[in-house]
Amino acid sequence: MITKTQDSAQSDLLGKLRRVGGNASAEQIGAELNRLGQTPVPLLPAQELCEAFLINVLKNQGTVACAPDRSEAVKCVAKYLHERFHTRKIVAGNDPRLAAMPWRDGGVLPRFGAAEQEFSSPPTPASLSYARLGVAETGSIVTFTGKSNPAANNLLVEDHLVLLDVADLVANLDDAWQRINAAMEEEGRPRGINFISGPSSTGDIDAQLVMGAHGPRAWHVILMGDVPDEALDNARSFIEQRLNQL
């Protein structure tokens, strides 16, 4: 039973918090917060940003491809779809950047909208998102919710493919938020901001890592643009060496 109105419950608690502390002015609090300084950031596994990002995507159990331009990127999508599902079909959000991709170059047949959400129908094999940002520190990509990124496309498909422009790659999570805050200034706050860093996974049974807990079983990132020639090879050999060390 709720005995009090919510307004009085709120003022009761806030009143109590005010008594416990909280006499400082907003300016004083802000100044004190600024004095606490910047967050320390972790070391990147490589100096070059693309390479560091690719390494971390691979560490997150993702797979990667690099494409110098959009036409090659479409071909990468086609190759992936063929190898995994023998299909040319993919679901993509209503994102103008996705609509403008040269689909014919790879013979890919996109359907714009949301992935299958009827339980009685088979799940959609693959979806494609266009990331707002990539984060080298964590091997993450960032999307905002909305019609360009239906939640079903990130979460209810078998495989999730992501396109990322090299220009949208940032070094760390703080840089990512700087860009996100700037975007929010212009577009307002989106309902959701999603950092995705790998396929859906679980270790809940016997602490063994299994992919595809509820969401995608595989996650494929295509880095588009001016990626240094050796970045992908270096990233792969980094991972190989790591595996050999284990």
Partner 1 sequence: MSSTDQAKGSRAFYSNVRSSLQETEKVNRRDMLGLFMPMIRDAAVNEFGGFEELRRHVKNIKQHSLDNLYHYLSQFVEEAKSNGNHVHFAQDSSEMNSIVLDICQQHDARRVIKGKSMVTEETHLLPHLQSAGLEVVETDLGEYIIQQAGESPSHIVGPALHKSVDEIRELFMRKHQLGERELEGPAEMVAEARTVLREHFLKADVGIIGSNALIAESGYSMLVTNEGNGDLCANLPKVLIICTTMDRVVPRANDAMALLRLLVRSATGQPVTCYTSFYSGPRQGEDTDGPIETHIVLLDNKRSDILDSDYREMLQCIRCAACLNHCPIYIGAGGHAYGSVYMGPMGSVLTPLLTSLEESNALPNACTACGRCAEVCPASIPLPDLLRDLRHDETRAKLSPTRWRVGMKIHAWLLSHPWLYHKLTALGIPALGWLGRKKGSFKSLVLANGWTDERDFPAPQGRTFMQQYQSQRDDNEDAG
- Residues numbered 23-62 forming contacts with partner 1, rule: CB under 8 A: 24, 26, 29, 32-33, 36-37, 39-40, 42-43, 56, 59-60
Q: How far apart are CA 88 and CA 74, in angstroms?
A: 11
Considering beta carbons, is residue 191 or 229 the nearer one to partner 1?
A: 191
User: C-beta of 216: minimal distance to partner 1 in Å?
Assistant: 8
Of 191, 229, 243, 244, the residue at the interface with partner 1 (CB under 8 A) is 191
Q: Draw the binding track, 136-155, toward partner 1 (x: CB under 8 A; -: no contact).
A: -xxxx----xxx--xxx-xx
Q: How far apart are CA 6 and CA 15, in angstroms?
A: 14
- Residues numbered 216-235 forming contacts with partner 1, rule: CB under 8 A: 216
- Residues numbered 120-139 forming contacts with partner 1, rule: CB under 8 A: 123, 137-139
Of 215, 222, 224, 227, the residue at the interface with partner 1 (CB under 8 A) is 215
Does the protein bind partner 1 through residue 183 (CB under 8 A)? no
- Residues numbered 59-88 forming contacts with partner 1, rule: CB under 8 A: 59-60
Considering beta carbons, is residue 73 or 98 the nearer one to partner 1?
A: 98
How deeply is 85 buried, as exposed, middle or buried, from its count of CB atoms within 10 A (0-12, 13-18, 19+)? middle
Cα angle vertex 228, ends 224, 232, to 5°?
75
- Residues numbered 163-182 forming contacts with partner 1, rule: CB under 8 A: 173-174, 177, 180-181
DSSP string computed for 113-172:
S-----TTSPPPSEEEEE-SEEETTTTEEEEE-BTTB-HHHHHSSSEEEEEEEGGGEESS
Q: How far apart are CA 180 and CA 189, in angstroms?
A: 9
